[in-house]
Structure 1
């Protein structure tokens, strides 16, 4: 009998079902005690890996994707751990652009399950889904795939996020905005304090935070940890040179070098900021750790970078754009991109949200631009009802103007059919956008591209 069959689970699907089942039963419990205990029981495998730790309100996934692509293009083996996933659970654990194989999931989860049960009997209680998933990633990279670098995205916040169990080569804070305020705090200062919690003693930090109060928190935290800070607008700068639906270019000047022109394929001004953050991060890695990054390869790799569910055109006839704008800053970036680079006569939007979000501040950016709005629900155990979301949008509509037509359709598939019919009737100059929670984006994207539902989740 091989070691994969010696544990409780016989298939990868059983193992994944156990992990995802922890979300509704155990929930979210910020803190590192259980994670540190679990790492100890595993002989601290995370200490053998080189992490690039990425936190922030928006742009984390895009920055991770830029870093992953550039490092791989320069000959390095790269692990990338991200959340939430868009198509399947295994998407979260990438090694050289490939998902973790089922046999690795099965073997490693069978190793983790008895340890999780041991910890559940301690004063700390059972590990959460996030903790088991993060431990699985560490085990995969430290004992199976052995990457040169691990691009490591935080799940929630930073200070108490389970990914913060690692000490990285470099810490990255993309930006600070209003998200998860029920957990991270109600002010920019409080949220910045949580994100800045990933800053470690002597470890350099790159950030594109702009609000003075957020910058002050990051600057103070970096100084207290003797960590060199590379801040957008102070140690590095960029200028957007060109933008269209299919790509953009920008110049970059940092502490160590400058680039006259770099190209990216991802749309929206915010993606230039994300690319600049990635370039500065790579330059710090090159300066501090002798990481090899060829200038020609850098430009080509940035151009090749894609990130699902962010201003992604998933259908050209009718034109359907999906964008996971689920907080005020994300929706503002979407609205700016729609005004900036997309051409259309009519804009129709399909929207779903999760509860506990700053919806009024989010929706004010998009509603005035919309012709028809279809309000729906994600296929997920936690969700905001379409009726409640419609009530909110109607109230905002009276203040802000906006959709001449608001339709409530809780079934997302029927809502998507309706979106398509509207586009058919209105002609090719109509742009259809599906936005809001990534749980909706995941299903719509999988359905339009693969005619299947996603296994969306954290």
Structure 2
């Protein structure tokens, strides 16, 4: 019997993170033993290389603006584990998490005994906790974010109302494949028979995989830049402004508080998924509701301001496609500022390319450092990161990120930008420091 929050976290985080067997048999058996709680939920499923979390946030706020109660399942967390399972943006309580773990733990022990070394992984347990929670705490709809890939992700035992695929890029290549079509095929694994699919901005070869898979499943893909369109309307203030058109629905001067052209794509993808969901329900929504939902959206760790003077921000860009987008954001919004970037990256990422991409922005000064890394995954060392840049004069090293932060603040002026980025796990550490959040045991 687990009685404390710390014990509940130790049980969850003590599990293996990955099992090599590409199958959902274990997850389906796990859910059968729990009574298949997922079968009683109305869901929207969100996969993609980048943009999943922001798209979930936009979808949540659009659905809430239309009067729904909305559950969300996201990963990783930024401040506390409880964020991963939320209702209307509010994380579940510590007591609720303890109750859930006590419900699931005996089944996990049973499977450990049955399956020897092949019992449920940490993420499978996270997913099971979420399904059990929303089965006993009903909401109108649950927006479920895929953990990794799609085809064999533990969330992929569901039949959602709408499937969403945000972006396809080179990440987790050892697991998902080393080409865009191979990775796209893994993401397309969430496409279900007769379930409509909404895609973000995909390359032609990735979109071709989606169209082909959808045709096999007797459904259709609605894709950004083909079936719905956005036009950036540059905004002088913080945030982005854009027009949106999907069929006869046209909206101008839509405003979001998240920064970056890719956030326009995420908002538009969420908006198209929301419109699709509403049509399936036989419901319509006022344009005022759509505007309010998008304008309200905030998502911690996505170019989030932590301080105004000097301007300090964190961003969870954690792979090469995200760094390309981040570099473009810096060129668009901060071309007249010096930009000091504190970078810490996990060792299993393409950190060499990430460093080189950031250094293509001429006003960037890079301080490479490291952080502790989650679980068994280690961070790239500052020496490894520096070697990737071929000794750029705009790059220095620091032994740890507090030292890098001190170095940047001692060099920059009040008009400059300080950005800490490279990993969602890294910025979680940073956000704790700035927000003075209660530490988890």
TM-score in terms of structure 2 length: 0.94
Structure 2 unaligned segments of length 5 or more: list them. none
**Map of 1:70-89 to 2, 5 A cutoff?**
70-89=62-81
Partner of 1:416: 405
**Map of 1:275-314 to 2, 5 A cutoff?**
275-314=267-306
Partner of 1:163: 155
- Which of 50, 53, 64 is matched with 2:45 structurally? 53
Structure 1 unaligned segments of length 5 or more: list them. 1-7
- Which of 407, 411, 429 is matched with 2:397 structurally? 407
- Say which SS state the counterpart of residue 241 (structure 2) adopts: strand
Report if the CA contact (8 A) 2:84-2:91 is conserved: yes
Residues 417, 450 of structure 1: CA spacing in aligned structure 2 closer, same or farther, 3 A cutoff? same
TM-score in terms of structure 1 length: 0.91
Q: In structure 2, how many angstroms separate the alpha carbons of the residues matched to 1:191 and 1:184?
A: 5
- Which of 418, 434, 437 is matched with 1:432 structurally? 418
Shift of 1:17: 1.4
Residues 342, 453 of structure 1: CA spacing in aligned structure 2 closer, same or farther, 3 A cutoff? farther
- Which of 319, 326, 336 is matched with 2:328 structurally? 336
Q: In structure 1, how many angstroms separate the alpha carbons of the residues matched to 2:72 and 2:283?
A: 17
- Say which SS state the counterpart of residue 372 (structure 1) adopts: strand
Partner of 1:317: 309
- Which of 141, 148, 155 is matched with 1:149 structurally? 141
Partner of 2:32: 40
Partner of 1:446: 432
Report if the CA contact (8 A) 1:443-1:454 is conserved: no
Shift of 1:267: 0.7
Partner of 2:379: 384
Partner of 1:4: none
Shift of 1:291: 4.2
Residues 453, 348 of structure 1: CA spacing in aligned structure 2 closer, same or farther, 3 A cutoff? farther
- Which of 218, 222, 225 is matched with 1:233 structurally? 225
Q: In structure 2, how many angstroms separate the alpha carbons of the residues matched to 1:417 and 1:319?
A: 15
Deviations along 1:207-240, whole A, 9 cap, x unmatched?
Answer: 0242111011101000000112101122111111
Report if the CA contact (8 A) 2:356-2:388 is conserved: no
Report if the CA contact (8 A) 1:30-1:162 is conserved: no
Q: In structure 1, how many angstroms separate the alpha carbons of the residues matched to 2:65 and 2:251?
A: 18
Partner of 1:260: 252
State yes or no: 1:363 paired with 2:355: yes
Q: Which stretch shifts more, 318-327 or 115-124?
A: 115-124
Residues 449, 123 of structure 1: CA spacing in aligned structure 2 closer, same or farther, 3 A cutoff? closer
**Map of 1:175-194 to 2, 5 A cutoff?**
175-194=167-186
Deviations along 1:272-311, whole A, 9 cap, x unmatched?
Answer: 1111101111111121222453320110120110111111
Partner of 2:85: 93
Q: In structure 1, how many angstroms separate the alpha carbons of the residues matched to 2:393 and 2:370?
A: 19
Deviations along 1:253-278, whole A, 9 cap, x unmatched?
Answer: 11352223311111111011111101
Q: In structure 2, how many angstroms separate the alpha carbons of the residues matched to 1:255 and 1:390?
A: 47
Q: Which stretch shifts more, 294-303 or 444-453?
A: 444-453
Q: In structure 1, how many angstroms separate the alpha carbons of the residues matched to 2:382 and 2:240?
A: 39
Report if the CA contact (8 A) 2:211-2:220 is conserved: no
- Which of 239, 242, 265 is matched with 1:247 structurally? 239
Shift of 1:250: 1.2
- Say which SS state the counterpart of residue 292 (structure 2) adopts: helix
Aligned length: 437
Q: Could you say what the CA RMSD is over the residues aligned between the two structures, in angstroms? A: 1.9
Residues 176, 34 of structure 1: CA spacing in aligned structure 2 closer, same or farther, 3 A cutoff? same
Q: In structure 2, how many angstroms separate the alpha carbons of the residues matched to 1:405 and 1:361?
A: 15
Shift of 1:76: 0.6
- Which of 201, 204, 207 is matched with 1:215 structurally? 207
**Map of 1:126-141 to 2, 5 A cutoff?**
126-141=119-134
